C-alpha cells in the first residue's frame, strides 16, 4: 500500500447545513476547519449534499473512514410549514374530556394552515390532574371508534395529547397502543415526546410533527442516500432547535425538533470559531441581520412562546432580534435609508458590482475596500460611501444595545456572508471579532453540536427538600442525555429554572433543568 | 350600552394583561374560549353601571385555581355556566347581569364568556380594578357585599354552594375545594342587586381593558411611543395618574414559594447603574429605588418590554430583558381607609404606609 495506514480512531467530523438557498459543508478536526464548500441547494437535496460534502472531503484529503460523525442542520421542515406545502393531514386525539372542551385543537391556527393540516379531532376521556390523579379513565372503545373513523377517512398521521402528560405519559402510550389496532402503519406523535407543560403549545407541536411525517421520511431518505453515495459509514446526526443533536432515526420521527436549528447553529458556530463563550453575535446575511446573545457558549433562549408559521409552540429557541439589514439591502437617499427590502437571491444579477442597476450594501462595502465581490471598478466612484457605512453601523449598534444584557461590555462576533458591511474594530463598547470561516458558521455550528437532556416537571416539596427535588430533576435530565448518546463525564447543566406554583398545597414547584454533554467519542469542549 | 364582538377580544386581553400587574394569569386561553363562544352565540351586550336598574340581580364570575394548572387543564365548555346555573338554582332567581370580580388577567374574560354562553348581558365593572391574589381583596367585600352564597363548578359539572359569613374564610375554605377539583374551578359569587353594585363596584374596568389594549395596538401600528400615548390615555380615566418609573434591564431575579405564593423580587438596572427593586407576591406589590418608596399597592406597577410595550407577567420575567416599569394610580374607591385595610400594604404584610404614587418621586 502506498498511503499511510488510516488513523486508529476516526476523528474528523463533517458538518452540513441544508438551507433553502445554499447547502454548505465543512470538514472539521476538533475545532479546526480543514475545508469548506458552498453550493446552491436546488431541487435535489441528495445532489447538493454530495457536491458540497464531496468537495470538502477532496479538499481535506480525507477518506470516508476517517470521518467519525456527520452532523446536518436543515431548514426543510420549517420551510414546509411556512410555505404550507408537503404536509400531511393530521387527526388529533386529545385525552382530557370533560376538561379542555372549551378550546378544541387547532383553535388558534391560521386558517390557511388549518385547511391544509386539519384531519379532524376527537375530545376523548382521559387526562391527569396536577397531582397525577385521573381526570377521567381512558375509554378503550371510544379510542377504537375514533381510530376506525380515521382509517375510514384515509388519514395516516395522528397526534395524541393527554393533559399533564409531561408528568406521566402512560395514557398517551396506552392510547397509541389501542389506536394501532386500527391504524398499524400510521405516523403517531405523542405530545410528551416533544413538548413541555402548556397543553395548546404542546399539542400544536405534536400536530405539526405529525404533519411533517411523510416529508420527514423523504428528506431523511435523501440525507442517508447522500451519505451512502459519499461512501461514509459514520453515523448521521441532525441538529435540533436547542443546539443539540438527535440521531437520524429520531429525526424521522420528530422532524419538528429541527425548527430554528439554523440560527442556533450559526451562534454556536460563532462561539467555537471565536473561542468566546459570552458574547453578542451578529449574523449578517443577505437580507437580515440576526442578533443574539451567547451565554456560556449557548444562545439565550426566548422567554415568550414562539410562533412557527403562525402557530404557537413552546420550543426552546434562541432569543433573536432580527434587523432588516444585510449584504443585499437596498441603499437609498445617500445612505440615509438602508433596507429593509433587499435584492435577496438576485444579488448576482442586480447589484452594481455584478453589472446590475441596484445600489446594495454589498456595493458600498466593495467600494470601501471591505468586501471582495464582483467587479470593484463598477463602484469605484460611489457617493456617500462613508455615510452609508456609518448608518449601517448605527443600525447594528442600536440593535446590539437592545440585546446586550447589562451595563458590562461584551465582544461582538460577526458571522455570515454579509459581515464585511460592518467596518471598524469596536461597536457598542465591545471589541469586534471577525473569526475565519464566519461565512459557514452555520455548518460549523452543526458539526460541533452536543447532546442534550431536559427535565420539566412539577415536584411536590411535601416531605422532600428542595435540594432533593433539584437533585432528582438533574438526574432525570442527565439520564435522558446519556440515553441520547452523551458521554456521562462531560454532562453539565446549562440552564435551571424554578417556578413555584402558587395556590397548590405542599409547596409544589415546577423545575426545568437542561443539560448538555459531548457526543460519545468527540471529547470536544464548548467554545474551546 | 355597547357590544363586545370578536374584533374586541384581543384588545381586552392585552389591556387585561396590563391591569394584571404581573399576575392574574395569561388571558390567552380564556380569550380563545371566549372567541369560540361569541362566534357561536353572537356579540355580548355590555351596560355601564349607570345603565342598570337598582333591582336587577348581578353575579360576579371568574375562575379560581392555579395559573400553572390553567395552561394545562383548560376548562370544559360548560364548566363556567355550570357555576352560574348552580347559584341561580340555589337562590331561586335568575341573574340579570354578569360582572367580573377581577378585571386584570384571565378572569377579565369570564363574564364575557358566560354572557355569550348564557345569552345574558354584562356590566362594565369589577371588584379589583387590577389583579389580586385572594377573593376577599375586592371592593365588593370592602363596602359590605358578601361573596356568599357562591358556587364552584368542576369540568365534570359537579357544583358546590358555599355560604360563609366572612370572605377571608370563604377564600380559605373555597380554596380547599378548588384543589380537590384539580386546581381549576369556575366560580359565580357576590350575588347583589343593581343598587349595591353601583355602590361597591369599580366602574368601567372592562372597557378600560379594551381602551388600554387598543391604545397599545395603535401605537405599535403607527410606530409611536407606546408609553407616552398610554399615559396620555390613562390621564383621562378615573385611574388618572400614570408615569414611567424606570427604564432598564433585568439584572437580578429571585423567586421562592412561601405558603403557596409565588414570592420574589426583580431588580432592574439602567445605563447609569441606578436600580429599581420590585417585590411581587403573584402581582407586583412595591417598587423601591435606593430604599426609597416609588410605588406601593394598591397603586399599579406594570412591567412592560421596552420594545413592543408588551406587559410581562412575573413567570415570564427573565434575566437580561429590557423593560420599562410604569406606575398607575388606583381609582379613589380603592384608596379609602377601609379599602387599604384589605388590599393596601398591610394586606400583604408590608410595613410602609400607603402613599399615593402621584405624591412619590
Q: Backbone phi, then psi, for B167, in 5-degree steps?
A: -70, -25
Q: CATH 2.40.390.10 region(s) of chain B?
A: 226-359
Give the H/E segment covering residue B80. helix B79-91
The alpha carbon of residue B109 is apart from the nearest alpha carbon of chain A, in Å, by: 13
Residue A5 scores a pLDDT above 70: no
Nearest to A101 by CA among A134, A133, A135, A131: A135
Domain count, chain A: 4
Spatial separation of the C-alpha atoms in residues A285 and A291, rounded to whole Å = 11
Are both A370 and A386 inside the same structural domain?
yes
Q: Is the previous residue joined to B90 through a cis bond, with omega within 30 degrees of 0? A: no
DSSP H helices, A165-280, are: 170-180, 199-211, 213-229, 248-253, 261-274
The pLDDT tens digits of the residues spanning A160-186 come to 999 999 878 899 999 999 999 999 999
pLDDT in tens, chain B (361 residues): 999 999 999 999 999 999 999 998 889 999 999 999 999 999 999 999 999 999 999 999 999 988 778 899 999 999 999 999 999 999 999 999 999 999 999 999 999 999 999 999 999 999 999 999 988 999 999 999 999 999 999 999 999 999 999 999 999 999 899 989 998 999 999 999 999 999 999 999 999 999 999 999 999 888 889 999 999 999 999 999 999 999 998 888 887 766 666 788 999 999 888 999 999 998 999 999 999 999 999 999 999 988 789 999 887 887 777 899 999 999 999 999 999 999 999 999 999 999 999 999 9
Are both A179 and A285 inside the same structural domain?
no
Q: Which of B 44-83 lie inside 8 A of A, CB atoms?
A: 65-69, 71-80
Half-sphere exposure of A331 (CA within 13 A, CB side): 28
Last residue of a domain, one of A413, A436, A459: A436
Look at strands A12-18 and A67-74 and give their pairing: parallel
Instruction: Give yes or no for A241 touching B (CB within 8 A).
Output: no
Q: Which domain holds residue A146?
A: 88-211
Decide if A405 and B319 are in contact by the 8 Å CB cutoff. yes
Instruction: Give yes or no for A184 touching B (CB within 8 A).
Output: no
Q: Backbone phi, then psi, for B289, in 5-degree steps?
A: -125, 125
Overall CATH class of domain B2-203: alpha beta
Among partner residues A100, A163, A503, which is closest to B183 by beta-carbon distance?
A503
**Disruptive mutation site among A319, A462, A470, A502 for chain B (greatest number of B CBs within 10 Å):** A502
Residue A513 scores a pLDDT above 90: no
Residues ≥6 apart with Cβ < 8 Å to A291:
A280, A281, A282, A283, A320, A321, A322, A323, A396, A399, A400, A403
Residue A445 placed within a domain: no
Q: Which residues of B touch A96 (CB under 8 A)?
A: 73-74
Are the beta carbons of A209 and A187 closer than 8 angstroms? Answer: no
Report the C-alpha dihedral over residues B44, B105, A202, A297, rounded to 10 degrees. 150
The alpha carbon of residue B336 is apart from the nearest alpha carbon of chain A, in Å, by: 28
> Nearest-5° angle of CA B94, CA B100, CA B195?
60
Q: What is the DSSP letter of A134?
A: B
How many H-runs (helices) and E-runs (strands) does chain B carry? 11, 17
CB atoms inside a 10 Å sphere around CB B39: 11
Instruction: Give yes or no for A58 touching B (CB within 8 A).
Output: no
Q: In what order do the strands lie in the sheet with B2-4?
A: B2-4, B44-47, B122-123, B97-100, B57-65, B184-193, B150-153, B159-162
Q: Which residues of A touch B273 (CB under 8 A)?
A: 407
Are the beta carbons of A476 and A486 closer than 8 angstroms? Answer: no
Are the beta carbons of A298 and A268 closer than 8 angstroms? Answer: yes
pLDDT for the residue A138: 97
Are both A187 and A253 inside the same structural domain?
no
pTM: 0.88
Q: Which of B 93-112 lie inside 8 A of A, CB atoms?
A: none
pLDDT for the residue A506: 61
Instruction: Give yes or no for B237 touching A (CB within 8 A).
Output: no
pLDDT for the residue A80: 87
The pLDDT tens digits of the residues spanning A43-54 come to 788 999 999 999
> Nearest-5° angle of CA A219, CA A416, CA A246?
35
Are both A281 and A402 inside the same structural domain?
yes
Dmax over CA atoms of chain A, in Å, equals 78
Residue A134 scores a pLDDT above 80: yes
Q: Which of B 127-156 lie inside 8 A of A, CB atoms?
A: 133, 155-156
Instruction: Give yes or no for A147 touching B (CB within 8 A).
Output: no
Q: How many interchain CB pairs under 8 A, A with B?
A: 143
Could you give the 3-state DSSP secondary structure of residue B86? helix
Are the beta carbons of A73 and A102 closer than 8 angstroms? Answer: no
For chain B, the residue count is 361
Are the beta carbons of B61 and B186 closer than 8 angstroms? Answer: yes
Lowest mean pLDDT among A111-120, A328-337, A506-515: A506-515
Residue A524 placed within a domain: no
Q: What is the DSSP letter of A524?
A: P
Q: Which of B 273-332 lie inside 8 A of A, CB atoms?
A: 273, 282, 306-307, 310, 315-322
CB atoms inside a 10 Å sphere around CB B306: 18
Decide if A100 and B321 are in contact by the 8 Å CB cutoff. no
Q: Which residues of A touch B263 (CB under 8 A)?
A: 500
Residue A152 scores a pLDDT above 90: yes
Are the beta carbons of B343 and B297 closer than 8 angstroms? Answer: yes
Spatial separation of the C-alpha atoms in residues A221 and A43, rounded to whole Å = 15
CB atoms inside a 10 Å sphere around CB A197: 22
The pLDDT tens digits of the residues spanning A409-457 come to 899 999 988 899 998 888 888 899 999 999 899 999 999 888 888 887 7
Decide if B74 and A135 are in contact by the 8 Å CB cutoff. no
Q: Which of A 426-485 lie inside 8 A of B, CB atoms?
A: 458, 461
pLDDT for the residue B271: 84
Q: Which residues of B touch A496 (CB under 8 A)?
A: none
pLDDT for the residue A1: 40
Are the beta carbons of B86 and B159 closer than 8 angstroms? Answer: yes
Q: How confident is the model at residue A2 (pLDDT cuts 50, 70, 90)?
A: very low
Q: Which of A 250-289 lie inside 8 A of B, CB atoms?
A: none
Half-sphere exposure of A237 (CA within 13 A, CB side): 30
Residue A268 placed within a domain: no
Are both A482 and A421 inside the same structural domain?
no
Residues ≥6 apart with Cβ < 8 Å to B206:
B4, B12, B46, B100, B103, B108, B111, B112, B122, B124, B125, B126
Decide if B316 and A461 are in contact by the 8 Å CB cutoff. no
The pLDDT tens digits of the residues spanning A280-297 come to 999 998 888 889 999 888
Are the beta carbons of B276 and B245 closer than 8 angstroms? Answer: yes
DSSP states of B324-343 as a string?
A: EEEEEPPPGGGSSHHHHHHH
Q: Which residues of A touch B255 (CB under 8 A)?
A: 498-500
Spatial separation of the C-alpha atoms in residues B324 and B177, rounded to whole Å = 39
Instruction: Nearest chain B residue to A104 by CA: give it.
Output: B33
Are both A137 and A169 inside the same structural domain?
yes
Are the beta carbons of A270 and A416 closer than 8 angstroms? Answer: no
Are both A225 and A175 inside the same structural domain?
no
Q: CATH 3.40.1610.10 region(s) of chain B?
A: 2-203
Instruction: Nearest chain B residue to A401 by CA: give it.
Output: B322
The pLDDT tens digits of the residues spanning A141-151 come to 999 999 999 99
Residues ≥6 apart with Cβ < 8 Å to A241:
A257, A258, A259, A260, A261, A264, A315, A316, A317
Spatial separation of the C-alpha atoms in residues B300 and B326, rounded to whole Å = 8
Give the H/E segment covering residue B280. strand B275-281
Instruction: Give yes or no for A424 touching B (CB within 8 A).
Output: no
Residues ≥6 apart with Cβ < 8 Å to A303:
A319, B316, B317, B318, B321
Are the beta carbons of B100 and B62 closer than 8 angstroms? Answer: yes
Residue A405 scores a pLDDT above 70: no
Look at strands B202-203 and B44-47 and give their pairing: unpaired
Instruction: Give yes or no for B32 touching A (CB within 8 A).
Output: yes
3-state secondary structure A252-274: HHCHHHHCCHHHHHHHHHHHHHH
Are both A480 and A370 inside the same structural domain?
no
Residues ≥6 apart with Cβ < 8 Å to A12:
A27, A28, A29, A34, A60, A62, A66, A67, A68
For residue B307, CA distances in Å to A149, A401, B247 come to 48, 12, 11
Nearest to B124 by CA among B234, B215, B198: B198
DSSP states of A443-479 as a string?
A: HHHHHT-BEEEEEEEEEE-SSS-HHHHHHHHHHHHHH
**Disruptive mutation site among A200, A501, A503 for chain B (greatest number of B CBs within 10 Å):** A503
Decide if A101 and B78 are in contact by the 8 Å CB cutoff. yes
Decide if B307 and A402 are in contact by the 8 Å CB cutoff. yes
Are both A217 and A206 inside the same structural domain?
no
Are both A112 and A188 inside the same structural domain?
yes
Instruction: Give yes or no for A502 touching B (CB within 8 A).
Output: yes
A7 vs B60, residue with greater confidence: B60
For residue B143, CA distances in Å to A264, B134, B150, B171 come to 56, 16, 18, 17
> Nearest-5° angle of CA B321, CA B322, CA B326?
115
Are both A207 and A228 inside the same structural domain?
no
For residue A208, CA distances in Å to A90, A212, A239, B262 come to 8, 6, 18, 34
For residue A120, CA distances in Å to A100, A103, A317 come to 16, 14, 29
Nearest to B300 by CA among B9, B20, B14: B20
Give the H/E segment covering residue B266. strand B261-269
Are both A428 and A313 inside the same structural domain?
yes
Decide if B29 and A103 are in contact by the 8 Å CB cutoff. yes
Q: Identify the sign of the CA torsion A217, A222, A223, A228.
A: positive
The pLDDT tens digits of the residues spanning B14-58 come to 999 999 999 988 899 999 999 999 999 999 999 999 999 999 999
Span A472-490, average pLDDT: 88
Decide if A501 and B66 are in contact by the 8 Å CB cutoff. yes
ipTM above 0.90, yes or no: yes
CATH of B226-359, one of 1.10.8.50, 2.40.390.10, 2.40.30.10, 3.40.50.970: 2.40.390.10
Residues ≥6 apart with Cβ < 8 Å to B23:
B67, B104, B105, B131, B133, B280, B282, B283, B284, B313, B314
CATH number at residue A411: 3.30.420.40
Are the beta carbons of B243 and B231 closer than 8 angstroms? Answer: yes
Among partner residues B282, B306, B310, which is closest to A502 by beta-carbon distance?
B282
Give the H/E segment covering residue B192. strand B184-193
Residue A393 scores a pLDDT above 90: yes
Could you give the 3-state DSSP secondary structure of residue B191? strand
Residue A527 placed within a domain: no
A322 vs B268, residue with greater confidence: B268
Instruction: Give yes or no for A386 touching B (CB within 8 A).
Output: no
CATH number at residue A92: 3.40.50
Amino acid at each position: 500500500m502506498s498511503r499511510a495506514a488510516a488513523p486508529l480512531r476516526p476523528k474528523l467530523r463533517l458538518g452540513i447545513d441544508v438551507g433553502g438557498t445554499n447547502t454548505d459543508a465543512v470538514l472539521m478536526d476538533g475545532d479546526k476547519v480543514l475545508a469548506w464548500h458552498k453550493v446552491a441547494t436546488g431541487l435535489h437535496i441528495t445532489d447538493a449534499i454530495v457536491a458540497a460534502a464531496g468537495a470538502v472531503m477532496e479538499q481535506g484529503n480525507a477518506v470516508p473512514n476517517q470521518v467519525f460523525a456527520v452532523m446536518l442542520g436543515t431548514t426543510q421542515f420549517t420551510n414546509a410549514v411556512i410555505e404550507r406545502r408537503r404536509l400531511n393531514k393530521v387527526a388529533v386525539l386529545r385525552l382530557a374530556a370533560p376538561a379542555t372542551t372549551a378550546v378544541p385543537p387547532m383553535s388558534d391556527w391560521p386558517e390557511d394552515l388549518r385547511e391544509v393540516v386539519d384531519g379532524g379531532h376527537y375530545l376523548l376521556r382521559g387526562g391527569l390532574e396536577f397531582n397525577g390523579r385521573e381526570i377521567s379513565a381512558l375509554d378503550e372503545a371510544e379510542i377504537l371508534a375514533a381510530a376506525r373513523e380515521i382509517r375510514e377517512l384515509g388519514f395516516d398521521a395522528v397526534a395524541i395529547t393527554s393533559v399533564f402528560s409531561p408528568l406521566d405519559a402512560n395514557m398517551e402510550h396506552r392510547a397509541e397502543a389501542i389506536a394501532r389496532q386500527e391504524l398499524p402503519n400510521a405516523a403517531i406523535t405523542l405530545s410528551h415526546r416533544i413538548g413541555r407543560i402548556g397543553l395548546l403549545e404542546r399539542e400544536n407541536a405534536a400536530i405539526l410533527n405529525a404533519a411533517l411525517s411523510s416529508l420527514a421520511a423523504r428528506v431523511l431518505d435523501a440525507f442517508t442516500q447522500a451519505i451512502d453515495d459519499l461512501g461514509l459509514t459514520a453515523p448521521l446526526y441532525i441538529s435540533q432547535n436547542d443546539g443539540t443533536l438527535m440521531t437520524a432515526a429520531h429525526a424521522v420521527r420528530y422532524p419538528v425538533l429541527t425548527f430554528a436549528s439554523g440560527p442556533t447553529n450559526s451562534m454556536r458556530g460563532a462561539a467555537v470559531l471565536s473561542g468566546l463563550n459570552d458574547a453578542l453575535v451578529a449574523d449578517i446575511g443577505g437580507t437580515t441581520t440576526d442578533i443574539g446573545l451567547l451565554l456560556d457558549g449557548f444562545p439565550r433562549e426566548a422567554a415568550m412562546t414562539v410562533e412557527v408559521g403562525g402557530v404557537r409552540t413552546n420550543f426552546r429557541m434562541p432569543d433573536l432580534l432580527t434587523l432588516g439589514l444585510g449584504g443585499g439591502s437596498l441603499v437609498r437617499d445617500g445612505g440615509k435609508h438602508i433596507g429593509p427590502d433587499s435584492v435577496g437571491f438576485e444579488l448576482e444579477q442586480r447589484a452594481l458590482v455584478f453589472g446590475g442597476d441596484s445600489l446594495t450594501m454589498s456595493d458600498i462595502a466593495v467600494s470601501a475596500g471591505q468586501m471582495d465581490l464582483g467587479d470593484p471598478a463598477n463602484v469605484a466612484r460611489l457617493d456617500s460611501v462613508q455615510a452609508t457605512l456609518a448608518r449601517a453601523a448605527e443600525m447594528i449598534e442600536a440593535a446590539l444595545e437592545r440585546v446586550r444584557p447589562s451595563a458590562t461590555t461584551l465582544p461582538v462576533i460577526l458571522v455570515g456572508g454579509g459581515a464585511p458591511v460592518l467596518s471598524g474594530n469596536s461597536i457598542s463598547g465591545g471589541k469586534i471579532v471577525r473569526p475565519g470561516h464566519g461565512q459557514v458558521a452555520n455548518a460549523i455550528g452543526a458539526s460541533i453540536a452536543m447532546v442534550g437532556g431536559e427535565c420539566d416537571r412539577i415536584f411536590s416539596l411535601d416531605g422532600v427538600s428542595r435540594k432533593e427535588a433539584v437533585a432528582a430533576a438533574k438526574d432525570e435530565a442527565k439520564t435522558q442525555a446519556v440515553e441520547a448518546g452523551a458521554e456521562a463525564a462531560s454532562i453539565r447543566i446549562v440552564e435551571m429554572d424554578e417556578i413555584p406554583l402558587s395556590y397548590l398545597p405542599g409547596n409544589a414547584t415546577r423545575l426545568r433543568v437542561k443539560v448538555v454533554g459531548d457526543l460519545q467519542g468527540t471529547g470536544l469542549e464548548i467554545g474551546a | 350600552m355597547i357590544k363586545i364582538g370578536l374584533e374586541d377580544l384581543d384588545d381586552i386581553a392585552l389591556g387585561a394583561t396590563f391591569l394584571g400587574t404581573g399576575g392574574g394569569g395569561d388571558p390567552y386561553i380564556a380569550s380563545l374560549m371566549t372567541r369560540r363562544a361569541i362566534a357561536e352565540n353572537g356579540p355580548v351586550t355590555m351596560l355601564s353601571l349607570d345603565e342598570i336598574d337598582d333591582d336587577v340581580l348581578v353575579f360576579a364570575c371568574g375562575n379560581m385555581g392555579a395559573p400553572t394548572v390553567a395552561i394545562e387543564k383548560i376548562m370544559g365548555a360548560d364548566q363556567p355556566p355550570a357555576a352560574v346555573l348552580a347559584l341561580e338554582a340555589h337562590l331561586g332567581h335568575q341573574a340579570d347581569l354578569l360582572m367580573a370580580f377581577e378585571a386584570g388577567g384571565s378572569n377579565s374574560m369570564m363574564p364575557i364568556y358566560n354572557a355569550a354562553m348564557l345569552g345574558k348581558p354584562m356590566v362594565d365593572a369589577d371588584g379589583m380594578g387590577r389583579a389580586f391574589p385572594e377573593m376577599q381583596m375586592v371592593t365588593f367585600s370592602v363596602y359590605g357585599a358578601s361573596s356568599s352564597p357562591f358556587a364552584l363548578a368542576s369540568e365534570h359539572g359537579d357544583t358546590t354552594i358555599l355560604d360563609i359569613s366572612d370572605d377571608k374564610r370563604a377564600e380559605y375554605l373555597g380554596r380547599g375545594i378548588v384543589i380537590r377539583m384539580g386546581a381549576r374551578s369556575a366560580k359565580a359569587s357576590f350575588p347583589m342587586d343593581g343598587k349595591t353594585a353601583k355602590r361597591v363596584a369599580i366602574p368601567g374596568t372592562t372597557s378600560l381593558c379594551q381602551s388600554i389594549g387598543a391604545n397599545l395596538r395603535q401605537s405599535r401600528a403607527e410606530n409611536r411611543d407606546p408609553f407616552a400615548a398610554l399615559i396620555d390615555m390613562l390621564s383621562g380615566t378615573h385611574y388618572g395618574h400614570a408615569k414611567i418609573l424606570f427604564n432598564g434591564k433585568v439584572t437580578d431575579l429571585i423567586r421562592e414559594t412561601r405558603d403557596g405564593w409565588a414570592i420574589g423580587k426583580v431588580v432592574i438596572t439602567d445605563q447609569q447603574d441606578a436600580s429599581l427593586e420590585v417585590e411581587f407576591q403573584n402581582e407586583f406589590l412595591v417598587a423601591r429605588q435606593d430604599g426609597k418608596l416609588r410605588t406601593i399597592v394598591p397603586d399599579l406597577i406594570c412591567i412592560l418590554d421596552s420594545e413592543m410595550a408588551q406587559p410581562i407577567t412575573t413567570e415570564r420575567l427573565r434575566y437580561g430583558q429590557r423593560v420599562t416599569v410604569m406606575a398607575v394610580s388606583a381609582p379613589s374607591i380603592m384608596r379609602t381607609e377601609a379599602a387599604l385595610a384589605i388590599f393596601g400594604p398591610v394586606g400583604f404584610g408590608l410595613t410602609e404606609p400607603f402613599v399615593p404614587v402621584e405624591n412619590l418621586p
